[in-house]
Structure 1
């Protein structure tokens, strides 16, 4: 560790001189008059080799060589522009022309709401704000309705907690970050998807397989990074209201202001209320919990010539009640009450040196998660205090196409957990260091190889190697391959809190070790011109093979759940193909199919993992009229799978060996009127629901009560209505 720090310091010393940085945003004006970011636009100073590209928000930052004043901006399908940038100018806001007039012929384009990053060696799908608005996106768990790669389902039939799956694996195996800061870890993993409001999000990046070693040793199945709205580029004022037929309503607002030419700030607020009691299947249990949530975020940005920084605070307060309805025939109802408080402070700082592609950055955060909860007669309390820091230094060797990223990180988690009279207190601290090399040959080939070493106070030394490659033999074809290792320290009680909504006893057969797995993947992205329009076919295959895994055994008997380490084989194979096409103007569609083969050794037998669909079919389409009406429709075909063993239950409670396939449909109609967007829609159009999701619901204190075997929708047809209003929307 000392050696790495000394080397980083020596590399830094030669570049501690002042330079001028030029940054800004590149966008294009759509047909409705709104500006949308251009991702991957190329910029370089005329007469030099110094260049850069715009990121997923259209933002760029580039050093200015001495005497350079002409900046060239280009992107496929747009006019190439050369801008005169005087030495006194440091910020550029430029709009590319998406249509070209040649003797009366007009060529126009409409940006897709979801697209694949064409230059990143890591397979990454970017979900933009336009895509998020295609469905009623109340929070992160509902942001993947129009995405074929990420599955979302309920973890149990009473608490309303949702979980995601990527590559057929639970969401805990996907690293979730908010602007490259780890989020929804440990105690926040159960209900955390509901802690990120949809209207706050600017974009989501979904990566399959292991990610960059700079982000840590996790991300076994993939990585999901959420970008919030920015105080220097988004609406001056925004407000959103939403209500649905179940009685749930929410209100969101954000506003920004420039305090000075270099300082800007933004405040985001979210209020959510669900107060209607719904019991559609008449089993005396609420189909949805009663929720009150208040959420506030304030962030500040300082933007200097060579130094920039951000700081912010976030506060969350949520009360959640669920369980049996009060009824005169129920003497002791099974009630669930969960109170959650979150506090977070974060900061970022970056310095750009007087050398191309050379910078030093620091990301740091401190957070506290506190939960007090009651599940029937069980009492669970938990508090997690966390610190995170990541120091990153980026430079190049020889030429700018040989990039080095190195740094040190530190993660600290203080857990205070208790379940009834059992304590699960622990402290986890992990210092680490990493080195990553990236080679680029024009836009045809890129290789990213990295490794990191972490020292975990409970599990010892963790070595994490990773390799990603991208090859573009022709302009229309992208080939990717990846291999890497990942680790994960499980929070057994918090991550399996849905089991508290049952009478099962938790039995620990041994001390649980750290989870460890290898991930291998290949990806082919092919583009064709079909009837003068671009058709994209994206195919990928990923295999995850576990060396150790936490086994949650619900098959051995119906009154207990057993926790132990993997003793045998465990793997996940996931094959997916997706086709996207726009057959005519303003009309887009995507169709996809995924096959999952997920098997784990449970109780000495390699068998199909329960509650995982064997396949997934997907279709989504969108049409926008010239009068600014938009119609959206999405269909999900969810394949069947295995259920946990219920052979030992009484005959009237037996649930069979598998669950069937089923279809869900969502639709939405929206209209843009000046600064207003008004939308109305329906979820689960066919009204399909899982029958009797709760075992022994009539007697929740019996040894057979279980609300954790959920595989399908719990609510029938749900209608919603909402609006968005924005001033100075970019």
Structure 2
């Protein structure tokens, strides 16, 4: 959305200490727009009426920052200099949202306070629905594939479990939140990321680097905060349906209603179905997991006389997914005749926010989740339940040049499964307190310090500090430095799903000590306003993380085992990245990013590259709008360097390192109809899949129950005429989606 402001602001020689009656009107150059207007300094929102008009009374004249949001979730922030007792302005919204406007986006994730992105001491990346629509996907997990430094990682060829890597660190180091609540954890990190409807997302905020002092000690690699739309400003009706030539169908439905004068309701339904087994690589197994999934989301906001916030949201998620041999059906579930991995998932979430009725700004938040997984991995049953309750209260106080945040939190978790590792239900309760203070030294320099205290019944006191520094030059260049620590306890199922497939046994050689980390990152941002409406923005970053007591799965010592122990040496991750965004005359937009990284461990003075981690990667999105044709073309893609892969034996003929690969997509979107958009294109233009130049992906796919494998006294598979490489069944040799070229077509409707 590009905001074109048809007015001039008169500069005042002094600030008037008088109230200002502010009147505005918002249109799209043709029609009035009902939307939200957010006044940053007052931390208040007002709603335009049916004529697009709104009023607000400022206590004093002066400089204010205001955000305007349209029904598509696009946001533009700008600065007003109010000098007269009465001010009137008109704002005209267009359909575009220049990437450079995101510098003025209000972000929350970095410091848990609403602040302009450009003024945040913590670098926060913001991605709106416009970005994700350039390569439409059925869920947020796949949507992140074009974000530089963020990689959705597939971990199993059969069931397609996955996690999200940030700057080379595995999924357990990534904290995923919904509306600021840590409800995506444990069991839900394995399959639950597939059930968040894209249509309900207002924006996604990504923080790369430590966020432990505010969000908990496990936010080591970074966090992803998925912020859902406000019912007050969402489209009344929204439909987005697309299908692919593989037979995938994705449907997003949205409805926004005013239930009463004080209650606003947003409902979203996402349904995804893929029930067409395909075996392009001819190994007898499905290339992509079949899925039948529904997610129902409800969000309520309540208007209060005090204008303080009150919101409730619920989400129900059900999924039936299976992958395996092509002739598998329900009658084979749990048997040993035909191999299949079948997972039924039931999940319920409740979250809320309530600002207490005090003069001071004190906010309470809570979330409750219940997760039930009924699964069969071949003939191995895995039945698991996880219930999590979380609550926190925090006080937001500004005094002088200080901006203080003080809070307390508590997290309860119950986990139980049918494995030998969990003879009884495991319960944990972690109380926490945290404090953060940012201080503006002058217009150029700002500092932030934070400290969090958690108490764990097994590991006792956990203290995680945080420090940040920000410098802004007169030209608007921004330099940020962030440092912090982290603390992590391993979760064996969510991290080692391979054990359930029968491919490897998990061995824990000792009582695992918590992993500790120390992180520092530097970020530099510069924007050039060039001639001929050409805007260029570059953001460079460098980071280093050092781990002690590192808990890294050992795939190498025994091909039949995954061995867990604390690393006797140390592990580290270091790297640099560069993002470049360019906008030319509202027709051409280019977003490109590259990351170079080294993720390794050092033990006995020997450095080893971490499994399934590339040393370089790149992403890009190029968009061009043909205004006369109402047509936009999007060309997106990513590039990944070689990764070290887990082999089953020394004779395993599969590649020990993946080849450099690229997945590229193209899309055309037609916007010539009122309220309607038509879009279509091709995914994976190069038809790349991980079986390229490999003899096979799944080891022993012809014998998934290892019925014909012979073993020695140590349990190692023997080389026989029938098994010339000494392999066992292994579906974990996977590092990218095994889905080749396909076309897609869809339609969107918003009203």
Considering the TM-score relative to the shorter chain, is it more than 0.5? yes
SS in 1 for 2:184: coil
Give 2:745's aligned residue.
Answer: 721
Write out per-residue CA displacement over residues 288-346 of structure 1, whole angstroms, 9 at most, x where no aligned residue.
12211121122211121323311222211111111112189x98211111111111222
Give 1:480's aligned residue.
Answer: 480
Q: CA deviation at 1:98?
A: 7.4
Give 1:689's aligned residue.
Answer: 689
1:319, 1:560 → 2: CA distance? 29
Answering whether residue 261 of structure 2 is matched by residue 261 of structure 1, we say: yes
Q: CA deviation at 1:78?
A: 6.2
Give 2:343's aligned residue.
Answer: 338
Q: CA deviation at 1:71?
A: 8.8
Relative to 1, partners in 2 of residues 1:97 and 1:70: Cα closer, same or farther, differing over 3 Å? farther
Write out per-residue CA displacement over residues 482-506 of structure 1, whole angstroms, 9 at most, x where no aligned residue.
0001122322112321443342111
Q: CA deviation at 1:69?
A: 8.9
Answering whether residue 553 of structure 2 is matched by residue 548 of structure 1, we say: no
- What do you get for the CA RMSD once the two structures are aligned? 3.5
How many residue pairs end up in the alignment?
671
Q: CA deviation at 1:28?
A: 7.5
Write out per-residue CA displacement over residues 531-572 of structure 1, whole angstroms, 9 at most, x where no aligned residue.
342211111011111123322111112111111222211011
Give 2:658's aligned residue.
Answer: 659
| Deviating more after overlay: 76-85 vs 687-696 | 76-85
Relative to 1, partners in 2 of residues 1:560 and 1:709: Cα closer, same or farther, differing over 3 Å? same
1:23, 1:499 → 2: CA distance? 66
Give 2:388's aligned residue.
Answer: 386
What pairs up with 1:279-290 in 2 under 5 angstroms?
A: 279-290=279-290
Answering whether residue 541 of structure 2 is matched by residue 536 of structure 1, we say: no
Q: CA deviation at 1:419?
A: 2.7
Relative to 1, partners in 2 of residues 1:597 and 1:93: Cα closer, same or farther, differing over 3 Å? farther
Q: CA deviation at 1:644?
A: 2.8
2:201, 2:23 → 1: CA distance? 18
2:85, 2:504 → 1: CA distance? 68
Answering whether residue 98 of structure 2 is matched by residue 111 of structure 1, we say: yes
Q: CA deviation at 1:205?
A: 0.2
Q: Normalized per residue, which structure has more strand?
A: 1
Q: Is the 8 A contact 1:297 1:315 kept in 2?
A: yes
Answering whether residue 183 of structure 2 is matched by residue 159 of structure 1, we say: no
Give 2:580's aligned residue.
Answer: 579
Q: CA deviation at 1:202?
A: 1.1
Q: CA deviation at 1:68?
A: 5.5
1:311, 1:120 → 2: CA distance? 27
Write out per-residue CA displacement over residues 463-518 of structure 1, whole angstroms, 9 at most, x where no aligned residue.
01001121102233100000001122322112321443342111111223333211
Q: Is the 8 A contact 1:360 1:393 kept in 2?
A: yes
Q: Is the 8 A contact 2:155 2:732 kept in 1?
A: yes
What pairs up with 1:613-624 in 2 under 5 angstroms?
A: 613-624=614-625
1:24, 1:574 → 2: CA distance? 48
SS in 1 for 2:214: helix
Q: Is the 8 A contact 1:264 1:301 kept in 2?
A: yes
Give 1:706's aligned residue.
Answer: 730
Q: Is the 8 A contact 1:300 1:312 kept in 2?
A: yes
Relative to 1, partners in 2 of residues 1:83 and 1:192: Cα closer, same or farther, differing over 3 Å? farther
Q: CA deviation at 1:27?
A: 10
Structure 2: gaps spanning 5 or more residues: 1-19, 47-54, 68-75, 104-116, 330-334, 707-716, 718-727
SS in 2 for 1:725: strand
Q: Is the 8 A contact 2:247 2:276 kept in 1?
A: yes
Give 1:444's aligned residue.
Answer: 444
Give 2:143's aligned residue.
Answer: 143
What pairs up with 1:311-390 in 2 under 5 angstroms?
A: 311-326=312-327, 332-351=337-356, 353-354=358-359, 358-390=360-392
1:408, 1:569 → 2: CA distance? 33
Q: CA deviation at 1:529?
A: 3.0
Q: Is the 8 A contact 1:433 1:454 kept in 2?
A: yes
What pairs up with 1:41-440 in 2 under 5 angstroms?
A: 80=80, 82=82, 96-97=91-92, 110-112=97-99, 115-116=102-103, 117-211=117-211, 213-306=213-306, 307-326=308-327, 332-351=337-356, 353-354=358-359, 358-397=360-399, 399=400, 401-419=401-419, 423=423, 425-440=425-440
Q: Is the 8 A contact 2:478 2:526 kept in 1?
A: yes
SS in 2 for 1:712: coil
Give 1:11's aligned residue.
Answer: none
Structure 1: gaps spanning 5 or more residues: 1-21, 45-50, 56-61, 87-91, 100-107
Relative to 1, partners in 2 of residues 1:510 and 1:318: Cα closer, same or farther, differing over 3 Å? same
Q: Is the 8 A contact 1:499 1:708 kept in 2?
A: no
Q: CA deviation at 1:723?
A: 1.3
Give 2:608's aligned residue.
Answer: 607
SS in 1 for 2:276: coil
Give 1:15's aligned residue.
Answer: none
Relative to 1, partners in 2 of residues 1:376 and 1:440: Cα closer, same or farther, differing over 3 Å? same
Relative to 1, partners in 2 of residues 1:602 and 1:257: Cα closer, same or farther, differing over 3 Å? farther
2:271, 2:703 → 1: CA distance? 35
1:634 corresponds, among 610, 633, 636, to 636
1:301, 1:485 → 2: CA distance? 36
2:448, 2:45 → 1: CA distance? 19
2:490, 2:252 → 1: CA distance? 33
1:24, 1:631 → 2: CA distance? 40
1:320, 1:664 → 2: CA distance? 25
Relative to 1, partners in 2 of residues 1:262 and 1:487: Cα closer, same or farther, differing over 3 Å? same
Q: Is the 8 A contact 1:284 1:325 kept in 2?
A: yes
Q: Is the 8 A contact 1:114 1:127 kept in 2?
A: no
Relative to 1, partners in 2 of residues 1:585 and 1:334: Cα closer, same or farther, differing over 3 Å? same
SS in 1 for 2:137: coil
Give 1:643's aligned residue.
Answer: 645
Q: CA deviation at 1:162?
A: 2.6
Q: CA deviation at 1:84?
A: 9.4
1:27, 1:567 → 2: CA distance? 65
1:217, 1:159 → 2: CA distance? 30
Q: CA deviation at 1:675?
A: 0.4
2:305, 2:236 → 1: CA distance? 24
Write out per-residue CA displacement over residues 84-117 of structure 1, whole angstroms, 9 at most, x where no aligned residue.
999xxxxx99864579xxxxxxxx9852288452
2:156, 2:405 → 1: CA distance? 42
Relative to 1, partners in 2 of residues 1:498 and 1:721: Cα closer, same or farther, differing over 3 Å? farther
Relative to 1, partners in 2 of residues 1:666 and 1:28: Cα closer, same or farther, differing over 3 Å? farther
Q: Is the 8 A contact 1:389 1:411 kept in 2?
A: yes
1:476, 1:70 → 2: CA distance? 21
